[in-house]
């Protein structure tokens, strides 16, 4: 995998946990590996690794042509380097992004994720698992409202997930962009994802009709929201 182009697929919301009958996004992700039975590991750190989330992952991915597994940082933790670097896909779940990154840093996970990404492992995830790859993300990790959060910085700029799915996302992102508190970036609706090759957008994909993603920036305090072209995936 060392000659492969680094890839990240950032999902705005939805996916196997929200609708186990619609696995279009998951099928797309696995197809990008070019491997007959790709190894895919689920990282549910942000939600505290609840059993129901892990069970939903296995229930979905065991229907697909892949070899699924789960990384736990709350039980006896395995050799992380050997585990992560042999995967074809690393799928990060949603939850509290700030707590997830703090725990990852203590275990040295960000460096391993970067090494895996640069070696050709596809990095992906939903919500927290989408924004974590950017320089900053709009997070609900705090109880008093949405805030910018410094993230891993594999991808430039900022990211806002759930752009159509949570009523405060759009106005909060616009306000923070206009004030300069968060840099230009992308907004991703539920059931949409942005596929990056290297640090450039390759394409936007949608797993339900009409979902979108947007390029976002502020020019002299006025927010520009530009829809990106979408490739809609076959419906189940």
* 158-192 pLDDT per residue, tens: 999 999 999 999 999 999 999 999 999 999 999 99
pLDDT for residue 13 is more than 70:
yes
| pLDDT of amino acid 97 | 97
Q: Which residues contact 187 (CB under 8 A, 6 or more apart)?
A: 12, 159, 160, 163, 169, 170, 173, 213, 214, 216, 225
Which among 158, 162, 172, 195 is annotated as catalytic?
162
Which among 127, 141, 158, 172 is annotated as catalytic?
127
Known active-site residue 162: yes
- The pTM (predicted TM-score) of the whole model is 0.96
> What is the rounded CA–CA span in Å between residue 130 and residue 199?
14
pLDDT for residue 1 is more than 60:
no
User: For residues 175 and 4, which has the higher predicted lDDT (pLDDT)?
Assistant: 175
pLDDT digits (tens, 9 = 90+) for 49-95: 999 999 999 999 999 999 999 999 998 888 999 999 999 999 999 99
């Amino acid at each position: 995998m060392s000659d492969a182009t680094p890839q990240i697929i950032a999902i705005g919301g939805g996916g196997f946990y929200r609708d186990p009958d619609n696995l279009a996004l998951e099928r797309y992700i696995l197809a990008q590996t070019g491997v007959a039975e790709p190894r895919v590991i689920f990282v549910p750190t942000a939600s505290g690794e609840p059993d129901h989330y892990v069970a939903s992952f296995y229930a979905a991915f065991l229907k697909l042509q892949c070899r699924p597994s789960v990384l736990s940082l709350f039980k006896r933790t395995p050799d992380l380097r050997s585990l992560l670097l042999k995967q074809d896909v690393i799928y990060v779940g949603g939850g509290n992004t700030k707590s997830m990154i703090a725990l990852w840093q203590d275990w040295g996970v960000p460096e391993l994720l970067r090494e895996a990404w640069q070696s050709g492992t596809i990095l992906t995830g939903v919500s927290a698992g989408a924004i974590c790859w950017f320089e900053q993300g709009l997070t609900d990790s705090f109880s008093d409202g949405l805030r910018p959060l410094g993230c891993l910085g594999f991808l430039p700029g900022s990211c806002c997930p759930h752009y159509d799915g949570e009523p405060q996302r759009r106005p909060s992102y616009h306000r923070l962009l206009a004030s300069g508190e968060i840099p230009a970036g992308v907004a991703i609706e539920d059931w949409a994802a942005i596929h990056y090759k290297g640090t450039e957008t390759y394409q936007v994909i949608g797993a339900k009709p009409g979902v979108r993603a947007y390029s976002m920036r502020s020019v002299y305090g006025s927010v520009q929201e530009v829809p990106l072209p979408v490739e809609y995936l076959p419906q189940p």
